[in-house]
């Protein structure tokens, strides 16, 4: 008899998009060496300098592990793979980057615009094989 297929967590987008340090999870983005702007997710081309025809290179950069919640919603109707209900929020990081991510709670009493949230790893979905999809999530502080 065939052994049941082992379920393994998969990472999204992949583990290169974050680093875990003593103070928590830090998202890894890119910084333009010309205009010094930060971007997430990482990229090869600066959206500000490229259209201006400015020579530039994108360097690896690290975001703070905490940001401020700009807005959020608790989603009830969505594709099954995201296991609704789940909460989505836009988080503003001190580096001038805004990132969309799921929150670690769906309890509206715990969530407030302007609050500090901490990045951490957590399940955001399941894939077609039933494996857990792990990615960055934000925990209200």
The residue ranges that bind another protein (CB under 8 A) are 12-13, 37, 39-41, 47, 70-79, 82, 86, 88-90, 92, 96-98, 100-102, 108, 113, 124-125, 135
- Cα–Cα nearest to 119, from 107, 99, 106, 108: 99
Nearest approach, Cβ of residue 107 and another protein (Å): 12
Nearest approach, Cβ of residue 4 and another protein (Å): 27
Nearer to another protein, 7 or 47 (CB): 47
**Kindly report the CA angle at 70 between 68 and 72, in degrees rounded to 5?**
115
How many other CB atoms are found less than 10 A from the CB of residue 10? 15
Nearest approach, Cβ of residue 126 and another protein (Å): 12
Nearer to another protein, 7 or 13 (CB): 13
Radius of gyration of the chain (CA): 17
Residue bearing tokens 């309890």: 107
């Amino acid at each position: 008899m065939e052994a049941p297929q082992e379920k393994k967590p998969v990472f999204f987008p992949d583990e290169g998009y974050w680093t875990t340090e003593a103070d928590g999870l830090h998202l890894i983005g890119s910084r333009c060496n010309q205009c010094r702007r930060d971007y997430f997710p990482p990229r090869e081309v600066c959206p500000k300098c490229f259209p201006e025809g400015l020579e530039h290179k994108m360097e690896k950069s690290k975001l703070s592990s905490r940001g401020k919640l700009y807005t959020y919603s608790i989603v009830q109707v969505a594709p099954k793979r995201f296991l609704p209900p789940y909460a989505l929020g836009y988080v503003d990081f001190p580096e001038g980057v805004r990132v969309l991510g799921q929150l670690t709670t769906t309890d509206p009493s715990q969530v407030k615009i302007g609050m500090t949230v901490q990045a951490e790893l957590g399940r955001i979905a399941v894939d077609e094989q039933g494996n857990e999809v792990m990615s960055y999530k934000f925990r209200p502080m």
